[in-house]
Amino acid sequence: MKKITLTLCSVSLVALTACTDPAYVTSGDGNTTNKAASGAIIGGILGAGLSAATKNDPLIGAAVGAGAGALIGNSLAKQEAELRKQLDSDVRIENTGDRLILTMPQDILFDVDSATVSASLEDDLYKVASSLNDYPDTTVQVLGHTDNTGTAAHNQGLSQRRANAVADVLMTGGVPFGRIESIGRGEDQPIASNLDEAGRHQNRRVEIVILPNAA
């Protein structure tokens, strides 16, 4: 019990230390959070759990995990802030503490039923590629999504072609092939109702997920 208490104190101390870092980010809804602190807490809990599972000292695991989590949180917060300054306001950026998710509406990326990236959006994608090159210790998932208009098979194929097209632009911008995975989700993961045009508009999207590599 004493060792568990010490572990929690250690995690708290690292998290509080992270809070003194200026890695605070204001999200699109105006809320300000400290992603380094979140990363420290997540990393500490995972580190403690891993050590317990392997019968190592959970105090050491928590401290190491919290430190790694804080570094990841700081890096993501910095990259997020830079991308917010660089990208068009139509691009939504979400920082979950362990990854960045960039969401681009397909209506501005592609013409109807097309998998050719709009010339006006290529500039934003090249800015994303430049950011990915500045932060090389990450991998990237490009996820294509559609609404449910048309057949499921058609939507699956279209979402994959669109994910591939976005990935191709990122690679043209210098991001190595081995860092990128393009995945078509079709109509299977809607974020809004497909019963009206407003909902279908939200469901037609491409997400670029930036994932820090494990240490």
Task: Give me the average pLDDT of each 10-residue run along the chain (215 residues).
Answer: 46 44 44 52 52 54 54 89 90 94 89 88 94 96 95 96 97 97 95 93 94 81
Sequence-ordered list of residues with C-beta below 8 angstroms from that of 5, at least 6 positions apart, any chain: none
State residue 21's pLDDT score.
45
Tens of pLDDT along 67-85? 556 678 889 999 999 999 9
Sequence-ordered list of residues with C-beta below 8 angstroms from that of 24, at least 6 positions apart, any chain: 32, 33, 34, 77
Place of tokens 């990208």: 87
Q: Extract long-range pairs of 2-10: CB within 8 Å, 24+ residues apart.
A: 3/57, 3/58, 3/59, 4/58, 6/59, 7/44, 7/48, 7/58, 7/59, 7/62, 8/62, 10/44, 10/59, 10/62, 10/63, 10/66
**Are the C-beta atoms of 101 and 93 separated by less than 8 Å?**
yes
**Are the C-beta atoms of 66 and 11 separated by less than 8 Å?**
yes
Give the chain's domains with CATH numbers.
Answer: 90-212 (3.30.1330.60)
State residue 187's pLDDT score.
95
